[in-house]
Amino acid sequence: MENGFPSTRNDSFPAGLRVLVVDDDPTWLKILEKMLKKCSYEVTTCGLARDALNLLRERKDGYDIVISDVNMPDMDGFKLLEHVGLEMDLPVIMMSVDGETSRVMKGVQHGACDYLLKPIRMKELRNIWQHVFRKKIHEIRDIEGHESFEGIQISRNGSDLSDDGHMFCGEDMTSIKKRKDFDNKYDEKDLGDHSSSKKHRVVWSVDLHQKFVKAVNQIGFDKVGPKKILDLMNVPWLTRENVASHLQKYRLYLSRLQKESDLKASFGGIKHPDMHLKDPAGSFGLQSSINTNQNDVANEHMPDTKKTLNADNPDPQETSSHMSFDHSFATLGSEVNYEAFDCHIWNEAPKIELKREHKPLLQLEDGFSQLPPCAPEHHVKTDKLHPVPSVTSGLSLTARDGNRVSHVSPKKCAIESFPIQSKGHMVVNHQSYEPVSTAISSMKPQGFNLSCLTDFDYCQRNLKASDSTLAPFNETACLLQGDFHNKYFGLPNIEFTDCNDPSFIAEIPVHWYDTLTSDYECPLDPTEYSIFDQGLFIA
Partner 1 sequence: MELGQMQGRLAEFTKSLYMEGILDAQFLQLQQLQDESNPDFVVEVVSLFFEDSEKLLNDIARALDQQSVDFKRVDAHVHQLKGSSASVGAQRVKNACVAFRNCCEEQNVEGCLRCLQQVKQEHYLVKNKLETLFRLEQQIVAAGGSVPMAEMTF
Q: 509 and 431 in contact (C-beta within 8 Å)?
A: yes
CB atoms within 10 A of CB 262: 10
30 lies in the site for partner 1, by CB under 8 A: yes
In sequence order, the 6+-apart residues with CB closer than 8 A to the CB of 321 are 289, 293, 339, 342, 343, 344
User: How near is the Cβ of 116 to partner 1 at its closest, in Å?
Assistant: 12
Q: Which secondary-structure segment (H or E) carries 68?
A: strand 65-69
d(CA 477, CA 485): 8
Of the residues 7, 16, 25, 244, which one makes contact with partner 1 according to CB under 8 A: 25
Of the residues 74, 115, 118, 461, which one makes contact with partner 1 according to CB under 8 A: 118
Binding mask of the shown chain, residues 371 to 410, with x at each position contacting partner 1 by CB under 8 A: ----------------------------------------
- C-beta closer to partner 1: residue 100 or 163: 100
121-140 residues in contact with partner 1 (CB under 8 A) are 121-122
Q: Which secondary-structure segment (H or E) carries 389?
A: helix 389-397
Q: 382 and 520 in contact (C-beta within 8 Å)?
A: no
User: How near is the Cβ of 280 to partner 1 at its closest, in Å?
Assistant: 23
Q: 451 and 477 in contact (C-beta within 8 Å)?
A: no
- C-beta closer to partner 1: residue 125 or 286: 125
119 lies in the site for partner 1, by CB under 8 A: yes
28 lies in the site for partner 1, by CB under 8 A: yes
- C-beta closer to partner 1: residue 104 or 516: 104
259 lies in the site for partner 1, by CB under 8 A: no
- C-beta closer to partner 1: residue 71 or 493: 71
Q: Which stretch binds partner 1 (CB under 8 A): 18-26, 193-201, 217-225, 315-323?
A: 18-26
- C-beta closer to partner 1: residue 33 or 383: 33
In sequence order, the 6+-apart residues with CB closer than 8 A to the CB of 430 are 352, 353, 355, 356, 357, 359, 374, 377, 378, 414, 415, 418, 510, 511
- C-beta closer to partner 1: residue 96 or 148: 96
User: How near is the Cβ of 81 to partner 1 at its closest, in Å?
Assistant: 18
The amino acid sitting at 398 is T
- C-beta closer to partner 1: residue 69 or 455: 69
d(CA 16, CA 220): 50
**Number of residues counted as binding partner 1 (CB under 8 A):** 19
CB atoms within 10 A of CB 234: 9
Q: Which stretch binds partner 1 (CB under 8 A): 34-42, 139-147, 177-185, 226-234?
A: 34-42
Q: What is the DSSP string of 395-461?
A: HHH--SSHHHHHHHHHHHIIIII---STTTPPP--HHHHHHHHHHHHT---TTHHHHHHHHHHHHHH
**CA end-to-end span of the chain:** 34
47-86 residues in contact with partner 1 (CB under 8 A) are 69, 71
Of the residues 96, 283, 392, 417, which one makes contact with partner 1 according to CB under 8 A: 96
15 lies in the site for partner 1, by CB under 8 A: no
263 lies in the site for partner 1, by CB under 8 A: no
d(CA 523, CA 60): 10
241 lies in the site for partner 1, by CB under 8 A: no
Q: Which residues bind partner 1 (CB under 8 A)?
A: 24-28, 30-31, 34-35, 38, 69, 71, 96-98, 118-119, 121-122
